[in-house]
Structure 1
Amino acid sequence: MNAAVQPGPIAYPATERGTTVETQFGEQIADPYRWLENDVRTDPKVAEWVAAQNAVTDAYLDTLPGRDWFKGKIAALMNYERFGVPQKYGSRYFYTRNTGLQNQSPLYVQDGLNGERRVLLDPNTWAQDGATALSGWRPSPDGSKLLYMVQDGGTDWMIIRALDVATGEKIDDDIRWAKFTGLSWVGEDGFLYSRFPEPEKGQDFQALNYNQAVYYHKLGTPQSADQLVYATPDHKERGHGAAVTDDGRWAFIVSSLGTDSKYEVHAIDLTQRAAKGWAARPLVTGFDNAWNPIDVIGNTAYFVTNKDAPRYRIVKTDLSAATPNWTTVVAEGEQPIDGASIIGDKLVVTYLKDATTRAAVYTLDGKPQKDIALGELGTAGGFGGRAGDPETFYTFTSFNRPGTIYRLDVNTGATTPFATPTLTFDPDRFTVRQVFYPSKDGTKIPMFIAHRKDVTRPAPTLLYGYGGFDVSLTPGFSATRMAWMEAGGVFALANIRGGGEYGKAWHDGGRLANKQNVFDDFAAAGDWLKANGVTTPGGLSIEGGSNGGLLVGAVTNQRPDLVDAAHAAVGVMDMLRFDRWTAGRYWVDDYGYPSKEADFKVLRAYSPYHNIRSGTDYPAMLVTTADTDDRVVPGHSFKYTAALQAADVGDKPHLIRIETRAGHGSGKPTDKAIQEGADVLAFLAHWTGLAMPPAPGDAEPIMSPANRSSTQR
């Protein structure tokens, strides 16, 4: 058993306090820790601060009882064979597979459904620390070649490469400065991708991302020879992505202004390239609604849109007509459409019903055929495939069930397992339920609650939320969450406003001037859990990442009395300067513009960095970030933590854990994910009184001192 955590305040590293004060709309805004915005890779002073903070945090975490237990439990729960959803190209099937504890999942290929699988790419051989990942991949239409993206150290910058599938030999291509891009083949010897201009030296992790453009690269040629396909230099803020239809005839350029689901769409007839080049004609203009391409059959293009349908509908138009004439194929219903694809000669449509997946098959004319049988409280994903081929694959998962891969024939409705995980735990020992609770304004909010079935009394609870960017949180398996439940804790997920669980109105209800609803919804979830005997008095921890890190910071400031322990991961903490780095400028769709007075007043009211309440007792807090996060730059977390440590907010620990060679989350190697999960859970368990089951040889459960005495609370 680890040594007990000693009571009393922590001696935090000294942090220089600057004198920066700026006047914004008549208010004096102090920013004493602005120097911590600098890139840790290039500023020795920031690097020293990071090292000093990590030393204090590591020393504290080393004393936590249960840390080793959580590390072992998370590793055991992750140690099972897991597969990605197969994709079929030509006669070949491509999918990822992890044997259990591999840092990265290799990509496999097999010839035919019953063929022998072989490793095509193993990213575990790319870096000694396991932090270089396979981020995305796309086989060519006949399955003979493969495009893939390399992600190093968690950065959003991708390197695009290609190989021959039969031989596994790399094709001599190396595409740089790609970010936020898909991969779309044009024939078998070239592809479309999106990239930004090369940033100034030393600014690749800081500079704003402007002037994204779509390029065509022909295999075997240098990147300098790539053809510019689509760009808007007069509108540098616009982002552009490309998607080629399965028949290879059309390319759609989908343009956006930010993170909001409002697009313009242009179409390129690829059969006319010799005569017209990359001539793009507009299909949708105005950035007013979502327009997500499904595919094209003949000249008929199918899209999912929320134009005149806040919960989405499926429409079609004839591309041979001079002017698009959109007609409804599948009308808007009570449940928002979450996705659609054309498989064989059918439409497969997925819906969200109270944040769980439903799926159905329609004819291409929109006539309902059959529902796809899924579990009750879970998430299904995948459903990719081709027109003319009735075969598709999908995965189904829930909080207590890792993903199982199924093969579906949409013509017959026959479903057969493709890959069923062999687990190290019994899912039936756990229960998952959904409740609906009232928020401050009376709005009913759904919340999932999961725990061991034998946990029948109030228990320390971990409440998770996000609440933004039209992102829907649905049930899914996490070894870290399962470890919390294995220890006897309760896990709760609140589907607060700002997400996409109920369509456009739900998203709009939690953004811009309505952002306070998000914090109210989350606080109301905590109040409900305490009032209804789910959690113990003093046993509520909260957690969120990215926009969810902002959520945790804001709710902790507003309701420190509610929260007993908090984990804010890679959070957006300075709401007055978020739009000054990398992808931050995109977020104005949800947050507003700090440079506009009306938006500034809203942002100023909840910005975590600017609203720490000195003189108020705060819960224990662990902030986590990474040195190479170029999505939400770590300066957000650095500044917030420095301000929290300097404020008079009580003696409970307010620490920051800064991962090295990691970014915003994607591509993180398994060993780092296990260690981070153990650190976070041990911290939250200690400050909520969660007692881990005894390890072999222990006479009693591993109890935190916080559970034995109130003097450290």
Structure 2
Amino acid sequence: MLRKVETITTKTTIKNVDGTSNTKEVKTITTQYEKIAKTLFNYPTVRRDDQVDILHGVEIKDPCVVPIYRHLEDPDAPETKQFVEDQGKLFQDFIKSKGGDVRTKLEARFTEMFNYERYGLPFKKGDNYYYFHNSGLQPQSVLYTQKTVDGESSVFFDPNTLSQDGTVSLSRYSFSESGKFFAYAVSVSGSDWVKIHVREVGADKDLEEKPLEWMKFGGIEWTHDEKGFFYNRYPAPSVSLDKAGTETNVNKNQAVYYHRVGTDQSEDIAVYKDSEHPDFGFVTTVSDCGRYVIVGAWKGTHPESLFYYADLEKQFGGNSVLGVPEFTTIVGERTGAYDWIANEGTVFYFVTSDGAPNKHVVKYDVAQPELGFSVVIPEVETAIFYHKVVANNKLVLVYMQDVKHVMRVHDLTTGEYLHNIDLPTGSIIKGVSGSKNKTEFFYNFGSFISPGITRRFDFANGQDTLFKETIVPGFDSSIFEVKQVFYPSADGTKIPMYIFHKKGLEMNGENPAFQYAYGGFNFSVLPSFSVAWLTFAEKFNGVVAIVNIRGGGEYGQAWHDAGRLFNKQNCSTDFQYASRYLISEKYTKPAKLAINGGSNGGLLIGTVLNQAPELYGLGIADVGVHDLLRFHKFTIGHAWTSDFGNPDVKEDFENILKISPLHNVDSSKAYPAVLIVTGDHDNRVVPLHSLKLGATMQYELNNNAKPIMMRINTKAGHGAGKSIQQTIEELSDKYTYLSITLDAPYFD
């Protein structure tokens, strides 16, 4: 280390895990950080706490080793706001002074590339078809309607009218059974909090004076009498509505409510809650026949679920809710994930991982519960990814096979295989829409170099026809080459990775490369059309690598289990071995390799940078979970113990302490350039994770040769709901920083 060190002794208050405290003398090391930092990158100064935590007998950590910026957990504190402002100025000044005209070129190119018509997946409700459409640069996509599948369309609902800057988005929506009513939930600045509005189809004003508040993480399900709907909400946090989205209060005790249209929210009925399990969240479904209400209970993001049902006809004489429904248990033990498919009378069908890591289809007769579950469609060697029942008894199953999709049709009641629906080689299904009482369904597929094709399959005549094909003006997919490789990780496990770049690009070890992964929560990273990745490949002569590391759902529950809890290190190891593969095969070299991930993937980047900084030229961590010792104390963080473990449990604590980005910054190592990105309204992975890691890295690595900087998005959350303009600005900034730090020129 080049910094001058001075030691002083102070008295410090120590808080123990049991809530008690004591005082001891602590030797605090002070340095000439400010002088050295300003000589290099002029990092903003920020106060350091002198608090030390003792967790399970471990001092976390002496502030002379890793300072605790606990005060940055308060988003409303003046010094936090000043810190955010200073970091924003530092970053903008850096890219403007070092980036030349690259920023201008990137913004123009991204604007050009995003300016193409985008179509959402169509669906039919009542007599009308609906789909989302964006003409190109509209901040938010617009919901359109048309009477027939090939008829003339018109605007049904335009979220762009809800705000001047496009930062108010349509988060979720639901039509009543006949299509008469439309309930929609609105998010402000990307917050997970939404407000539910209700209007009659064809009207331009809401039916009710006030929207429903404090909904988060749930759907909207109408009863078939169309008098109301089910929704999820949490107790109101201790913040004013104008600050909703920036608070850090823990979200627990979610409940399912029933709202009768035209009444005040205070009259809503709490139909299901579990006070003994405050961590539980719920998903509610009304059966296609309207008779049953099905509630699935999930403990955070744990893969196992419970299921209950209520018989509205038996209790209320129809399909109305006239009081609190009585629920009966279907699945009472958390032995696997269960997803509702449909019912035929009293027989309920589910897709489940219980006893089948790749999932199978089972049935359960609520009239004969003593029979239990029986298998309808057995598990196969590939995992079930999507399911949809159409045309009464046609069960469409989409399977994942080596990160590519296969679509098969079965008879729901007998399980008999009927036929496949052919897809272009290597295609990925982006969504399926349809209903049990319609003969048609729509599916959309795409790839890294195809923005998407939507087709309509009609079981009435077996015809598979084109509905919409997305065309990007001026984009030539033929200039790119895409391939999939399987490389060995440290333990020999074969990990799939997609690689694409321009055809004819010489593999001489000098190309800039961009490596991305997620690796958590059973979520699969699938081939998708990315304006950012394609621009990097085209304009920087770059190599893009998308890695399907363990922890995701690419190979079913077993693949997820291999990358969570005490196997979490596998994620980082798999990612590092992907980097080594790219380097050894001459796709790139460490100084030219940028890595990126978001949320759990942001954690991945933070961990990898601490463990193997020598492999990289740049790390970009988006909205990451960086404090693995306190993540469970904020908003919905407690739900993630399924993958990370519980810091309050000694064994889990000891495991995650080794990979927590905030607690493993190593000042003895030379780090690549770093960019930490967050959003001021991210109330899922709250910004304090990024702020504390940024402050820690800038302090500990103050003499690092490469910059460590932050970009804090304003009026933005975890990612959803961003306007196109916000996206273009963020990408232009990120890739300008990449161009500077990787010394990667932009080619016109």
C-alpha contact (below 8 Å) 2:347/2:365 kept by paired residues: yes
2:718 is equivalent to residue 664 of structure 1:
yes
Residue 403 (structure 2) aligned to one of 348, 351, 355:
355
Q: In the aligned structure 2, how far is the partner of 1:644 from the partner of 1:250?
A: 54
Query: Post-superposition shift, 1:686?
Result: 2.4
Out of 134, 143, 164, the residue aligned to residue 170 of structure 2 is: 134
Are the equivalent residues in 2 in contact too, given 1:314–1:328 (CA < 8 A)? Answer: yes
State whether residues 33 and 642 of structure 1, in contact with CA within 8 Å, keep that contact through their aligned partners in structure 2.
no
Query: For residues 119 and 639 of structure 1, what CA distance do their matches in structure 2 show?
Result: 45
User: Which residue, 550, 558, 568 being the options, matches 1:515?
Assistant: 568
After the TM superposition, which residues 48-447 of structure 1 pair with which residues of structure 2 at under 5 Å, given as runs? 48-63=82-97, 64-65=99-100, 66-172=102-208, 174-187=211-224, 188-201=226-239, 204=244, 205-274=247-316, 277-323=324-370, 325-344=372-391, 345-364=393-412, 365-424=414-473, 425-447=475-497
Tell me: CA distance 1:324–1:567, structure 2 relative to 1, closer, same or farther (3 Å): farther
Secondary structure in structure 2 of the residue aligned to 1:682 = helix
Contact 2:190–2:681 (CA<8 Å) still a contact in 1? Answer: yes
Q: How far apart, in 2, do the equivalents of 1:605 and 1:284 lie?
A: 37
Deviation at 1:468, TM superposition (A): 0.5
Matching residue within 29, 34, 38 for 2:73: 38
Shift, 1:49, TM fit: 0.8
Paired residue type of 2:680: D
Can you list the C-alpha shifts for 1:75-119, whole angstroms capped at 9, x where unaligned?
A: 211111111101111221111110001010111111222332111
In structure 2, the residue matched to 1:467 is 519
Task: Report the equivalent of 2:20.
Answer: none
2:682 is the alignment partner of 1:629: yes
Return the alpha-carbon distance in structure 2 between the equivalents of residues 585 and 577 of structure 1. Answer: 9
Give the SS at the match of 1:632.
coil
Q: Report the residue type matching 1:69 in the other structure.
A: K
Note the C-alpha offset of 1:474: 0.7
- Tell me if structure 1 keeps the 8 A contact 2:270–2:324: no
Q: Percent identity?
A: 38
Contact between 1:146 and 1:162, CA under 8 Å: does it hold in 2? yes
Aligned to 1:541, which of 590, 594, 597?
594
Deviations 1:553-591 (A, max 9, x none): 000000011011110000000000000000100000100
Residue in 2 aligned with 1:711? none
Question: Letter of the aligned partner of 1:34 in structure 2?
Answer: Y
Q: In structure 1, how many angstroms separate the alpha carbons of the residues matched to 2:183 and 2:658?
A: 46
What letter corresponds to residue 19 of structure 1 in structure 2? Answer: D
1:710 aligns with: none
Shift of residue 453 of structure 1? 1.6
Structure 1 runs not aligned, ≥5 long = 1-6, 695-713
Q: Which residue of 1 aligns with 2:747?
A: 693
Could you tell me which residue of structure 2 aligns to residue 707 of structure 1? none
SS at the partner of 2:108? helix
Tell whether the 8 Å contact from 1:567 to 1:621 is kept in structure 2 after alignment.
yes
Aligned equivalent of 1:449, options 463, 476, 499:
499
Q: Secondary structure at the residue paired with 1:606?
A: coil
Partner of 2:536: 484
Q: Following the alignment from structure 1 to structure 2, what is the Cα–Cα distance between the partners of residues 411 and 313?
A: 27
Deviation (angstroms), 1:625: 0.3
Structure 2 CA distance, aligned partners of 1:640 and 1:367? Answer: 54
Do the aligned partners of residues 433 and 69 (structure 1) sit closer, same or farther apart at CA in structure 2, a change above 3 Å counting? Answer: same
Q: Does 1:25 align with 2:61?
A: no
Shift of 1:320: 2.1
What residue in structure 2 maps to residue 653 of structure 1? Answer: 707
Unpaired segments ≥5 residues, structure 2: 1-37, 318-322
Q: Distance in 2 between matches of 1:481 and 1:687?
A: 17
Contact 2:590 2:614 in 1 (8 A): no
Distance 2:227 2:123 in 1: 20
Deviation per residue, 1:496-550 (Å, 9 max, x gap): 0000100111111111111111000000000000001112452111000000000
- The normalised TM-score by structure 1 is 0.94
Once the two structures are TM-superposed, the CA of residue 8 in structure 1 deviates from its matched residue by 7.1
Distance 1:323 1:197 in 2: 38
Contact 1:566 1:684 in 2 (8 A): no
1:682 maps to 2:736 = yes
Contact 1:160 1:176 in 2 (8 A): yes
The corresponding residue for 1:700 is none
Q: Please name the residue that 2:25 is paired with.
A: none
CA contact (8 A) 1:377 1:432 kept: no
Which deviates the most, 375-384 or 336-345? 375-384
Which SS does the other structure have where 2:439 is aligned?
strand
Q: Which amino acid in the other structure matches residue 663 of structure 1? A: G
- In 2: Cα distance, 1:396 partner to 1:448 partner: 17
Q: Tell me the amino acid that sits aligned with residue 167 of structure 2.
A: A
1:633-676 C-alpha deviation (Å, 9 max, x unpaired): 00000000000000136121100000111000000111010111
Q: Name the SS for the 2:329 alignment partner.
A: strand
Cα distance between partner residues in 2 of 1:442 and 1:686 = 36
Choose the corresponding residue for 2:613, options 556, 560, 574: 560
Question: For residue 497 of structure 1, what is the aligned residue in structure 2?
Answer: 550
Q: What displacement does 1:179 show?
A: 0.4
Q: Provide closer, same or farther for how the CA distance between residues 353 and 413 of structure 1 changes in structure 2, counting only shifts above 3 A.
A: farther
Distance 1:628 1:401 in 2: 32
Query: Contact 1:212 / 1:238 at 8 angstroms: preserved in 2?
Result: yes
CA distance in 1, matches of 2:459, 2:396: 8
Match of 2:27 in 1: none
Distance 1:299 1:588, change over 3 A: same
1:596 aligns with 649
Deviation at 1:273, TM superposition (A): 4.0
Could you report, residue by residue, the CA deviation over 1:364-394 in whole angstroms, capped at 9, with x for unpaired residues? 2111111111122231032221224220011
Q: Are 1:135 and 1:667, in contact at CA under 8 Å, matched by a contact in 2?
A: yes
Distance 2:406 2:300 in 1: 29
- 1:115 and 1:271 map into 2 onto residues whose CA distance is 38
Partners of 1:372 and 1:171 lie apart in 2 by 43
Higher deviation after alignment, 241-250 or 547-556: 241-250
Measure the CA separation in 1 of the matches of 2:506 and 2:167: 41
Letter in 1 for 2:397: V
